[in-house]
A and B are shown apart, each in its own frame.
Chain A
């Protein structure tokens, strides 16, 4: 029985340890609460490291990424909103740090381009299909002369 309790205890402990180890591999920053931690990590995941360029702030080990990560954590713990933190980053490092670019005049093409292309494709498809239908319908409506010619030919075959 004692052994069993020990085993369960060890199991629970290991689960608890796994649970806490998920956060970040590099930092030992202590968040005020779990909500803050989750929000800060989400934010840091959505920001790009300006130096290494293809990694987000969490993945990167560069000093700049570490600084910015810490900055994000501290700002979240200080009760700053997402918009404020993102503004802080873009005012220093430009739009580049956003993995998801903002909707503005410079990025309209980026955001709306695919939709425009899709609509364009649908339009072409629609016109094409309609045209086919119309031309198909026309073929069925033979003029009087054509019908007479056809009848003549059919009759001749029957003979």
Chain B
């Protein structure tokens, strides 16, 4: 009887592997975990997109929960995402900081003038240095940053209603509640 059970080991191994590989079919390889979640935003000093004399640093972002949105005029998905960001900006839920990534300043300014500007402030990351420190590999990408300046979540790809409602907004509410609790104490 005992020996019989041994004969089933290959079958069990096969099934276990089957389940493992089957699950792998549904993983999205584009959706990489960010190595930066749980870490401070990188130290940076960048010019404001519209005004090169104003310098924005990582300290600027602290004090409240904010959304960092990496965008560029060369990025088609950013254009797709733009109207939804405009809607979010009107609702005034949290500041949205733009990181204008490897772009031309004049083009970016013109684009915002034409299509509307959902951003509280725009950082001009011309050489992609901040993008590199953030582990950005494309655009658009968005980072949720808490009031201590710690990156809590990274979303790669355009934000739309579904992503916002299912993923981002619940997290933002939670982070804002935390910020409030810590601010009160």
Contacts and interface: CB of A to CB of B under 8 A. Distances in A.
Interface of A: 50-51, 53, 63-64, 67-68, 71, 90-96, 124
A50 B138 CA distance: 9
A94 B134 CA distance: 11
A94 B35 contact: yes
Contacts of B132: 67-68, 71, 92
B135 to A, nearest CB: 4
A92 B35 contact: yes
- Interface SS of A by simple majority: helix
A50 B32 contact: yes
Contact of B135 (A53, A94, A124): A94
Contact of B35 (A51, A63, A64, A91): A91
A108 B73 CA distance: 43
B133 A64 contact: no
A93 B29 CA distance: 14
A87 to B, nearest CB: 11
B102 A94 contact: no
Nearest to B127: A67
A51 B137 CA distance: 5
Nearest to A50: B137
Interface in B89-138: 102, 128, 132-138
Interface residues of B, number: 16
Contacts of B137: 50-51, 64, 93
Nearest to B133: A92
Contact of A94 (B6, B29, B34): B34
Contacts of A71: 132
B35 A90 contact: yes
B128 to A, nearest CB: 6
Contact of A53 (B29, B34, B128): B29
A64 B132 CA distance: 8
B141 to A, nearest CB: 11
Contacts of A92: 35-36, 132-135
B135 A67 contact: no
A93 B34 CA distance: 7
Given A51-B138, A68-B132, A92-B132, A63 B102 contact: yes
B33 A94 contact: yes
Interface string B10-30: 000000000000000000010
A51 B139 CA distance: 10
7 contacts: A63-B128, A92-B36, A92-B133, A92-B134, A93-B137, A94-B35, A94-B135
Contact of A67 (B6, B36, B128): B128
Nearest to A109: B20
Interface string B49-80: 00000000000000000000000000000000
A95 B6 CA distance: 38
| Most chain A beta carbons < 10 A, residue from B102, B135, B138 | B135
